[in-house]
A and B are shown apart, each in its own frame.
Chain A
Amino acid sequence: MAKYSTNEFRSGLKLLLDNEPCSIIENEIVKPGKGQAFNRVKIRNLITNRVVERTYKSGESVEAADVLDVDLQYLYSDGEMWHFMDVDTFEQIAADKTAVGDNYKWLCEQDICNLTLWNDTPIAITPPNHVVLEVTDTDPGLRGDTSGGGTKPAKLVTGAVVNVPLFINIGDKLKVDTRSGDYVSRAK
């Protein structure tokens, strides 16, 4: 098993903590002038997303987590798994419900997504910051009202519901920010 010394700690480094993969958010060295140094570390558990604080004795070694971030193309879902492909090697990999989580709402076929793999298994996915999705259901649009003012909910092809301006119609394609879930604009 690969190990990291505390000297190598930096944000983004992936460690194994209580047998779960974690990523360092913040690393601070505290050292009394006449005493032992410690690394005070803020770590995100990549499976639960929970942030914990840990203190390591400087010079200690900690087990590395075999975690890799890769960009893969989203292909389709079979209802149980979501399938992605490496566009260079055509190798396919499937992510389960735990890894995909609420992000299923933003998966648009052929988009390139970022997948976090732990021991070659997806544990998290990050869709592109912006995706274009079609409206499948919303109240009839108000013609001419392009100035904004009010909003209404619109259901998208993936099941996501976003607040949109009143002029949006069923069949329109919308650009949405996946980080906030906000409507950005109508797509051509």
Chain B
Amino acid sequence: MSRDNQETDWQPAADQDVLIARANMLAGIRSFFQQRSVLEVDTPSLSQGTITDVYLEPLSSSCQSIDEGKQSLYLQTSPEFAMKRLLAAGSGCIYQICRAFRDDEMGRFHNPEFLMLEWYRIGFDHQKLMVEMDELLAAILNTEPSDTISYQELFLQRLKIDPLSCSDEDLQSLVFDKANGPKLEQRDEMLHCLFSILIEPELGIKRPLMVFDFPASQSALAKLSNTDPRVASRFEVYYQGVELANGFHELQDAEEQRQRFIEDNQQRKLLGKQQRKLDERFLAALENGLPDCAGVALGLDRLLMLKLEKKAIAQVMTFPIDRA
């Protein structure tokens, strides 16, 4: 981290035009959802529970008034669990614009703290939510209608390999030969490597591209597909080579969700990572009953960066982490 410019570090990284564009973007999003009668909600950033994701690390804090500071309080990596608890309690369709926090994420498109838009639509599946996502992008970025492609078709097109049926050895040779990458242990890591090094930088150059039906091993909190159990009802949005959003047709089955959390933890253990306590309040909400819905999270700093044709998200933030 640069400590060279202590005298000028107090100044914002974003100039006044960016502040105005940011305010206009937020106003545009709020009006988009107001017109559709989606309710804006506000859930806490700190929580006693957190995610079990294998490749996400939460930041944590503590508070003297809770168990004399011995209980960890996690900063949310996304507002997903809290918003689903609202949905289970009968909130109806909701959206939120909030801060999300992720440890160890720094770079052109990453800052440990960032602004997220997350919304849930009752009665939608991931395909229907992709249509609404497209309308939001058109409203905010003035983009042409998006292209869509399945994860499988994308790999076949770009790398001539079927990600759902090929062998681990085939994937590993591509990692070596095409991505100049290392020996990897996990199949998903090979897929992540090929996707982010070879495929992602070229996605959605002219208009946004939505990739749907990710491998079941990367289902996270999405339902598995009814027609092909090898894939999950999950989609991601890319524009100009940047990942903008991740959405699910949400998993409702509490038992399956618990099982996935446990598998996450087993995977974490295998990779030498700390295992995490399950968020029982979230699981209790699922047991109570989550309505059939689809939800998606969109990175707003990246959205603004693309809108303003900037090279890095730090240029559209008031105080990115190195001057926060």
CA distance A125 to B106 in the complex (A): 35
CA distance A67 to B246 in the complex (A): 43
Interface string of B185-198 (1 = CB under 8 A from A): 01011011101110
Nearest B residue to A27 via CB reads B107
Minimum CB–CB distance for B279 against chain A, Å: 17
B44 at the interface (CB under 8 A from A): no
A31 at the interface (CB under 8 A from B): yes
CA distance A132 to B230 in the complex (A): 71
Report yes or no: B180 in contact with A36, Cβ–Cβ below 8 A.
Answer: no
Report yes or no: A30 in contact with B200, Cβ–Cβ below 8 A.
Answer: yes
Which A residues are CB-close (under 8 A) to B56? 34
Name B133-189 residues within 8 Å CB distance of A: 175, 179-182, 184, 186, 188-189
Name B98-135 residues within 8 Å CB distance of A: 104-108, 110
Report yes or no: A57 in contact with B243, Cβ–Cβ below 8 A.
Answer: no
Which residues of B are at the interface with A, using a C-beta cutoff of 8 A? Answer: 53, 55-56, 104-108, 110, 175, 179-182, 184, 186, 188-189, 191-193, 195-197, 200, 218, 220, 236, 243, 246
Minimum CB–CB distance for A118 against chain B, Å: 23
Report yes or no: B197 in contact with A55, Cβ–Cβ below 8 A.
Answer: yes
Report yes or no: B182 in contact with A36, Cβ–Cβ below 8 A.
Answer: no
Nearest B residue to A29 via CB reads B107
Which A residues are CB-close (under 8 A) to B180? 52-55
CA distance A28 to B242 in the complex (A): 13
Which B residues are CB-close (under 8 A) to A32? 55, 192, 195-196, 200, 243
Which B residues are CB-close (under 8 A) to A55? 175, 179-182, 193, 197
Minimum CB–CB distance for B323 against chain A, Å: 18
Which A residues are CB-close (under 8 A) to B175? 55
Minimum CB–CB distance for B198 against chain A, Å: 10
Nearest A residue to B236 via CB reads A33
CA distance A55 to B181 in the complex (A): 4
Interface centre among A40, A54, A60 (most CB of B within 10 A): A40
CA distance A32 to B186 in the complex (A): 15
Chain A: interface size category: 20 to 34
Which B residues are CB-close (under 8 A) to A7? 104
Which A residues are CB-close (under 8 A) to B193? 36, 38, 55, 57
Nearest A residue to B195 via CB reads A32
Q: Given the known A-B contacts A36-B189, A52-B180, A55-B180, are A28 and B107 also in contact in the complex, defined by CB atoms under 8 Å? A: yes
Minimum CB–CB distance for B253 against chain A, Å: 20
- Which one, B53, B182, B188, B196, contacts A30 given CB within 8 A? B196
Report yes or no: B107 in contact with A38, Cβ–Cβ below 8 A.
Answer: no
Q: Given the known A-B contacts A36-B188, A56-B182, A57-B189, are A28 and B196 also in contact in the complex, defined by CB atoms under 8 Å? A: no
Which A residues are CB-close (under 8 A) to B220? 34
CA distance A83 to B254 in the complex (A): 75
11 contacts between A and B (CB under 8 A): A31-B196, A32-B192, A33-B246, A34-B218, A34-B220, A35-B188, A35-B192, A35-B195, A36-B193, A37-B55, A38-B192
**Nearest 8 pairs of A and B residues by beta carbon:** A29-B107, A35-B192, A55-B181, A30-B196, A36-B192, A36-B189, A54-B180, A55-B179
Which A residues are CB-close (under 8 A) to B182? 55-57, 60
Report yes or no: A40 in contact with B197, Cβ–Cβ below 8 A.
Answer: yes
Name A33-70 residues within 8 Å CB distance of B: 33-38, 40, 52-58, 60
Q: Given the known A-B contacts A30-B197, A55-B197, are A35 and B181 also in contact in the complex, defined by CB atoms under 8 Å? A: no
Report yes or no: B110 in contact with A29, Cβ–Cβ below 8 A.
Answer: yes
CA distance A131 to B231 in the complex (A): 66
Which B residues are CB-close (under 8 A) to A37? 55, 104-105
Minimum CB–CB distance for A160 against chain B, Å: 38
- Which one, B53, B106, B179, contacts A34 given CB within 8 A? B53
Which B residues are CB-close (under 8 A) to A31? 55, 105, 107, 110, 196
Which A residues are CB-close (under 8 A) to B181? 38, 54-57
A35-B189, A36-B186 known, 12 other contacts, Cβ within 8 Å: A29-B107, A32-B195, A33-B243, A34-B53, A34-B246, A35-B188, A38-B192, A54-B180, A55-B175, A55-B193, A58-B104, A60-B182
Minimum CB–CB distance for B194 against chain A, Å: 10
Interface centre among B188, B192, B220 (most CB of A within 10 A): B192
CA distance A55 to B197 in the complex (A): 8
CA distance A34 to B263 in the complex (A): 15
CA distance A91 to B197 in the complex (A): 47
Nearest A residue to B196 via CB reads A30
Which B residues are CB-close (under 8 A) to A33? 236, 243, 246
Which B residues are CB-close (under 8 A) to A40? 197
Nearest A residue to B189 via CB reads A36
Report yes or no: A35 in contact with B107, Cβ–Cβ below 8 A.
Answer: no
CA distance A52 to B180 in the complex (A): 9
